[in-house]
């Protein structure tokens, strides 16, 4: 089943994927949903190369994904049954998920309970990261933050009500507080 979302056909921002339950919202995005045995198809090879450089792949992600593309605003929603949320635009929502990845130009405002968070853009609100919070050099996280482990690259920003959640339900299995500064 192919779906087309967006304003301009000239901006092809789709993702090659062979998972299941892929959703993509973006400017001129062409979208194909794979059922686990097939793969999403795309005709623009240069867009595939560009997308591969902006779409994260370091977390070994599988399952259902929601990608909010550049210049897209998704407001006032509750995101459920989403394993991975990749934000290139603006999301104002409440969610409980496995992974959130915010691109440099992306922003998330609201409440999120996540296993792993990778922030290159902006997060503002209540963030509970059960396992690992990674803030890259361009990332800015503000609000009420709870984490199991945190890694902050030089230049990354973390401010607000911050607490290591070791010993709580948010960080089961963690032995002691863990904070690392990446060079």
The pLDDT tens digits of the residues spanning 65-91 come to 999 999 999 999 899 889 999 999 999
Q: CB-based burial of residue 181 (10 Å sphere; 0-12 exposed, 13-18 middle, 19+ buried)?
A: exposed
**All residues at 6 or more sequence positions from 46 whose CB lies less than 8 Å from its CB, including other chains:** none
Q: Are residues 97 and 170 in the same domain?
A: yes
Closest alpha carbon to 96 in 85, 109, 88: 85
Backbone angles phi, psi at 130, to 5 degrees: -70, -30
Structurally, how many domains does the chain consist of? 2
Q: Are residues 66 and 51 in the same domain?
A: no
Give the pLDDT confidence score for residue 178 in this predicted structure.
52
Q: Are residues 79 and 127 in the same domain?
A: yes
Q: Give the residue from 55, 72, 92 where a domain finishes.
A: 55
Question: Confidence band (pLDDT; 50, 70, 90) for 41?
Answer: very low
Q: What is the mean pLDDT of residues 126-131?
A: 97
Give the pLDDT confidence score for residue 54 in this predicted structure.
41
| pLDDT per position as a tens digit, 129-163 | 999 999 999 999 999 999 999 999 999 999 999 99
Q: Are residues 87 and 108 in the same domain?
A: yes
Range of the domain at 67: 62-183
Distance CA 139, CA 128 (A): 16
Q: Are residues 130 and 46 in the same domain?
A: no
Q: Is 170 helix (H, G, I), strand (E, B) or coil?
A: coil
Measure CA 131 to chain center.
15
**141 is written with which tokens?**
């996280």
**All residues at 6 or more sequence positions from 50 whose CB lies less than 8 Å from its CB, including other chains:** 13
Q: Are residues 87 and 169 in the same domain?
A: yes
Give the pLDDT confidence score for residue 45 in this predicted structure.
33
Say if residues 105 and 91 touch (Cβ distance below 8 Å).
no
Q: Are residues 69 and 152 in the same domain?
A: yes
Query: Which span out of 4-18, 36-50, 115-129 was modeled with the highest average pLDDT?
Result: 115-129
Q: Give the residue from 38, 55, 72 where a domain finishes.
A: 55
């Amino acid at each position: 089943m192919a779906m087309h979302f967006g304003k301009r056909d000239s901006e092809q921002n789709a993702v090659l994927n062979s998972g299941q339950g892929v959703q993509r919202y973006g400017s001129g995005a062409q979208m194909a949903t794979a059922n686990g045995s097939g793969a999403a198809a795309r005709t623009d090879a240069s867009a595939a190369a560009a997308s591969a450089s902006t779409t994260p792949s370091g977390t070994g992600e599988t399952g259902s994904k929601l990608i909010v593309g550049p210049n897209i605003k998704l407001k006032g929603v509750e995101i459920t049954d989403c394993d991975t949320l990749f934000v290139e635009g603006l999301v104002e929502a409440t969610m409980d998920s496995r992974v959130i990845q915010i691109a440099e130009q992306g922003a998330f405002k609201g409440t999120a309970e996540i296993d792993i968070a990778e922030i290159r853009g902006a997060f503002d609100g209540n963030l509970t990261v059960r396992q690992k919070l990674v803030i890259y050099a361009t990332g800015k996280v503000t609000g009420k933050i709870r984490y199991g482990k945190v890694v902050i690259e030089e230049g990354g920003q973390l401010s607000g009500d911050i607490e290591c959640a070791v010993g709580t339900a948010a960080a089961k299995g963690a032995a002691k507080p863990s904070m690392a500064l990446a060079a």
